[in-house]
Amino acid sequence: MTSTSTETPTVTPHEVELTIGGMTCASCAARVEKKLNRMDGVFATVNYATEKAKIAYPDGVGVDDLIATVVKTGYTAEEPPPPAVTEAPAVDRDTDPEPAGLRQRLVVSVLLAAPVALMSMIPALQFDNWRWLALTLASPVVVWGGLPFHRAAFTNARHGAATMDTLVSVGTLAAYGWSLWALFWGDAGKPAMPGMPGMEGMGVRESFSFTAARTGGTSEIYLEVAAGVIAFILLGRYLEARAKRRSGAALRALMELGAKDVSVLRGGREVRIPVGELAIGDRFVVRPGEKIATDGSVVEGVSAVDASMLTGESVPVDVGAGDAVTGATVNAGGRLVVEATRIGTDTQLARMARLVEDAQNGKAEVQRLADRISGIFVPVVLLIAAGTFGVWLGVTGDTVAAFTAAVAVLIIACPCALGLATPTALMVGTGRGAQLGILIKGPEVLESTRRVDTIVLDKTGTVTTGRMTLQEVYVTEGTDEKQVLRLAGALEHASEHPVARAVAAGAAERVGALPEAEAFENVPGRGVRGRVDGHEVVVGRLVDGLSGPLPEELAHAKAEAESSGRTAVVVAWDGVARGVLTVADAVKETSAEAVRELRALGLTPVLLTGDNRAVAQAVAKAVGIEQVIAEVLPEEKVEVVRRLQGEGRTVAMVGDGVNDAAALATADLGLAMGTGTDAAIEASDLTLVRGDLRVAADAIRLSRKTLATIKGNLVWAFGYNVAALPLAAAGLLNPMIAGAAMAFSSVFVVTNSLRLRTFR
């Protein structure tokens, strides 16, 4: 498993997650993170996309101290409410207050800015004193529409900081201030003088530009820039906010899956209560079509359960008394009575939501680089803008050109795309994974999936079902196969041995109801005996008291089964051997296909097991694995992984048992089957909610696709700024076009991330 950051403090007994308010770009997040990490013993990561800070802090530091630090930095912070996954209310994107308020500000700004831009750019729409109308329309846009930018810029300035809001505020206010000066004290408020030499054939806009050149530039106004840039950036913010909410939709949907109330059995009666009042040990009723309220064990009833919303598996699973069921899954068949075994934050649904949210709040190393750049980006841009103005003015003496280039530099530079590149892709990728039954623990996992070239597969419970099942039935000539199964199944039904349970279950499945056995006796190391339907029946590996040797056909079948790693038991009654039953841990139907998919991803599969070599070789041959490591003790599995790593391989490990936990933690990438133990799941990097090995291939594909999207986003974000800043400084970009391009860069990054929602 990938190592954790060396920046983590050695003593961090406490952890808290804070919701951060007021952040408008990645440089804001970088600034909050920097301030928190300056506190003694504190290690914090702040995620701009999720607007959350994950903080580890030592004794002597309180949550109030952390919140106070954030507030002093110019932002708000609060602890989120306690998680209540099963009771989470539905959230409607369209009625969320922040996008709604942003939408109102956007609509008003666009309606007012559009005529200003049209009048400024189309001479046919210009008339005497049109500039004063433009000022009247643009002023509410600059003052009210741009208020969030100005307020944030002022707050940051008070704390000696500069963010993307600073660039927008300074740029638009500079354009607006210049326009006011030109209108009230310059020549812009005066009509052009007809007949001025050189003006023949000019349109209105051209004539004012000409006049500006003749009068030192005081007739040129930038109201369309001031209003247009704010309108474009508000549009970008609105689209970005909606897209960010869509990127987190999968997690919200996951948290909203749970039932809201439940019918509990109290005193022999059904009582409807809120699911939050359910206690461990309570028995509750689940009718057809209802959601199972919480994790539990079926006490009564037989049904099929649809778990597709949690596992991605479309086929319902049959359950009966003694079977475990998961909260938020749907009862698709008959009435069930379930005893609650886990409630609240301990349920599988809550754990899934917690894993996904932790992953979304984490940061990949590549994102930390982007954050460091964002933290110094805005001050650098301010210096570039000032330098651009000075160079243009010194070289050309053209105040208008110098001002235009400087404003374009301020407007075009946007660190938002850098800040959104990783978290939005991670939010969408992990959310989509949760829908498919794949839980990615953290962003660092993505890098591991790219490098992996060898995948070690535990046998039992991973490649195989992990349960002994009845395989073949061999009988002597003239013996009825159903009678062999009926008598053997009835006798084995009284035993608790795994082989006996497999025989009894297989016999019941093939012949129906089994008779009762009498005078049952267990003979250690040999088998069982008893009376069934008046016959003295013996079932076991070694059978005594036969009237003769084992018939040749049965002896051959028994030897062949044992040589291939299966368990063979002889069935005899009335002193005569009548049949041989073989029992084995069955290979999952999908394992062979999964191995082919893993090979297609460039991975070399290795089968690792504690079973004997004959069993391991038989399983490996069935699924298409060439390299087998068998007869390995649990503690030796770690050494096997280390040996493979020592050979220069990057190793992924798939397992499900307690004995796999150490190997999962040692591997470069650990994948735990969600049907396995808690220890294995905690030790892994990826959890596969359903016990289908094909999901391992899906998980690696999704992780690699998410990583590729992150890299594509970062290439775009870096490339955009690298290309745009020189163009703006060279005077090749109109400030209003720069504002539109800046807004588009953030929207592009988020929209590109949203393509992960279509991953299949």
Burial label for 58, CB within 10 Å (0-12, 13-18, 19+), is middle
Report the C-alpha dihedral over residues 444, 446, 447, 452, rounded to 10 degrees.
120
* Distances in whole angstroms, Cα of residue 626 to Cα of each of 451, 456, 604: 22, 12, 9
Burial label for 289, CB within 10 Å (0-12, 13-18, 19+), is exposed
3-state SS assignment for residue 557: helix
CA distance 283 to 341: 10
Tell which residue, 438, 493, 444, has the closest CA to residue 693. 438
Q: How many residues does the chain have?
A: 760
Q: Running DSSP on this structure, what letter comes out for residue 291?
A: B
* Distances in whole angstroms, Cα of residue 434 to Cα of each of 384, 656, 755: 44, 19, 16
* Distances in whole angstroms, Cα of residue 11 to Cα of each of 41, 60, 170, 501, 714: 7, 12, 43, 50, 34
Task: For residue 295, give both structure tokens.
Answer: 């994790």
**Which residue in the block uniquely carries the two structure tokens 């005569």?**
576
Which element (helix H / strand E) includes 431? Answer: helix 416-435
539 φψ region: left (φ > 0), alpha (ψ -120 to 50), beta (else) = beta
Tell which residue, 523, 561, 515, has the closest CA to residue 545. 523
Task: For residue 89, give both structure tokens.
Answer: 């209310």
Catalytic residue among 187, 458, 585, 668: 458
Tell which residue, 588, 551, 537, 587, has the closest CA to residue 474. 551
**How far is C-alpha 241 from the chain's CA centre?**
19
With vertex at residue 241, the alpha carbon angle to CA 237 and CA 247, rounded to the nearest 5 degrees, is 140
**Which residue in the block uniquely carries the two structure tokens 């005077």?**
731
CA distance 428 to 448: 19
**Which residue in the block uniquely carries the two structure tokens 């590149």?**
421
Rg, Å, the chain Cα set: 35
Q: Count the Cβ atoms, other than its own, within 10 Å of residue 5.
A: 11
Task: For residue 483, give both structure tokens.
Answer: 């009678």
Identify whether the C-beta of residue 342 lies closer than 8 Å to the C-beta of residue 282.
no
Task: For residue 341, give both structure tokens.
Answer: 């075994």
CA distance 137 to 109: 9
Residues 6+ apart with CB under 8 A from 147: none
* Distances in whole angstroms, Cα of residue 319 to Cα of each of 155, 236, 332, 337, 372: 60, 50, 11, 11, 53
Tell which residue, 746, 753, 674, 670, has the closest CA to residue 708. 753
Whether 306 is catalytic: no
CA distance 310 to 674: 11
Task: For residue 702, give both structure tokens.
Answer: 């999704």
Residues 6+ apart with CB under 8 A from 533: 486, 487, 490, 515
CA distance 546 to 574: 8
121 φψ region: left (φ > 0), alpha (ψ -120 to 50), beta (else) = alpha
Residues 6+ apart with CB under 8 A from 168: 146, 149, 153, 229, 230, 233, 410, 411
Task: Give the residue numbers marked as catalytic.
Answer: 458
